[in-house]
């Protein structure tokens, strides 16, 4: 997975003597890498290894920018936004929905939110993604930069495929808890790493030690959110499709949800 990731300057010469080891927290059962990049190497990763050109070449190679893929992901995002709009009506009392997408990437989600009339901002530390963002004037490099420009607190904070990258995810969640409106919503999505306890197979490299350093499961994701002051909630179903078979599939999934395995795509409300 390390070899196939989007690199400008290859990190491999710097990793020859690195040791990969996962450890498990005795209190919360969270699995994570014992050794991770320090601040200096994190900056090197975002500025030299993961360049804009490398990321775009990677996305072109894996097909994520194909029209059908973009259409599908946009439909999913619109569905999420419709759910968030409904779930926050009592909080907003007629105000525009305020969303912060933490780790927003190129900014597609906040671009869609803005088109729906929402007040949407993003945070992303990647130099490449900051420079190439679809919503450049609404994306900030840090929480401090965002708060210096935006006075009102968000109703919703989303982290799509972000917590697995963070060295101190609980600190970020505590900060979000202190900087979101009372009873505001938190959306967390991470790869499901159930069964991964050590790096032995290619599948275990969902937690590669450079990009992904935390191995979340449905239980540990809910656990960390609760420790930060959030409780799980069930979102409504939003149907964004002209495909009748897709609609039937979604409705069947909704009806059978209690019998399906938990996922690592969760909604929470600040307590």
Domain ranges of the chain: 30-270
Region 10-16: mean pLDDT is 79
Q: Are 177 and 183 a contacting pair, CB within 8 Å? A: no
Reading the block at residue 3, the tokens are 């070899």
Which of the four pLDDT bands, split at 50, 70 and 90, describes residue 45? confident
For residues 26, 27, 32 and 34, what is the CA-based torsion angle, rounded to 10 degrees? -50
229 pLDDT above the threshold of 80: yes
Region 15-27: mean pLDDT is 86
Q: Are 208 and 62 a contacting pair, CB within 8 Å? A: no
What CATH architecture does domain 30-270 belong to? 3-Layer(aba) Sandwich (3.40)
Mean of all residue pLDDT scores within the chain? 88
Q: What is the pLDDT of residue 13?
A: 82
Q: What is the pLDDT of residue 130?
A: 61
Of 254 and 187, the one with more pLDDT: 187
- At residue 238, the 3 state secondary structure works out as coil
Instruction: Please report, for residues 79, 129, 139, the alpha-carbon distance to residue 114 in angstroms, rounded to integers and kept in the order given.
Output: 14, 18, 13
> For the CA atoms of the chain, what is the radius of gyration?
19
Nearest Cα neighbor of 221 from 193, 259, 184, 185 is 193
Instruction: Quick: pLDDT tens for 101-123.
Output: 999 988 899 999 999 999 999 99
| Edge-to-edge strand list for the sheet holding 31-33 | 22-24, 31-33, 214-215
- At residue 152, the 3 state secondary structure works out as coil
Which of the four pLDDT bands, split at 50, 70 and 90, describes residue 84? very high
Q: What is the pLDDT of residue 186?
A: 98
Q: First and final CA of the chain: distance in angstroms?
A: 38
């Amino acid at each position: 997975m390390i070899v196939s990731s989007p690199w400008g300057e290859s990190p491999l010469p710097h990793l020859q003597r690195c040791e990969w080891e996962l450890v498990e927290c005795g209190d919360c059962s969270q699995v994570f890498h014992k050794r991770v990049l320090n601040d200096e190497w994190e900056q090197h990763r975002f500025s030299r290894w993961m360049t804009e050109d490398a990321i775009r070449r990677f996305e072109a190679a894996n097909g994520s920018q194909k029209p059908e893929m973009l259409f599908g992901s946009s439909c999913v995002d619109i569905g999420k936004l419709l759910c968030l709009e409904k779930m926050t009506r009592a909080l907003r009392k007629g105000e525009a929905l305020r969303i912060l997408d933490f780790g927003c990437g190129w900014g597609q989600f906040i671009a869609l939110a803005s088109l729906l009339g929402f007040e949407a901002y993003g945070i992303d530390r990647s130099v490449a993604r900051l420079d190439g963002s679809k919503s450049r004037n609404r994306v900030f490099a840090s929480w401090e930069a965002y708060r210096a420009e935006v006075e009102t607190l968000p109703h919703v904070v989303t982290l799509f495929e972000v917590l697995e990258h963070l060295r101190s995810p609980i600190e970020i969640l505590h900060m979000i808890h202190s900087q979101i409106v009372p009873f505001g919503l938190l959306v967390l999505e991470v790869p499901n790493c159930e069964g991964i306890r050590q790096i032995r197979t290619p599948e275990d490299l969902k937690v590669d030690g450079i990009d992904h350093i935390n191995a979340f499961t449905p239980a540990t994701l809910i656990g960390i959110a609760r420790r930060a002051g959030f409780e799980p909630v069930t979102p409504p179903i939003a149907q964004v499709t002209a495909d009748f078979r897709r609609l039937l599939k979604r409705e069947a999934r909704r009806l059978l949800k209690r019998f399906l395995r938990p996922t690592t795509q969760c909604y929470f409300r600040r307590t």
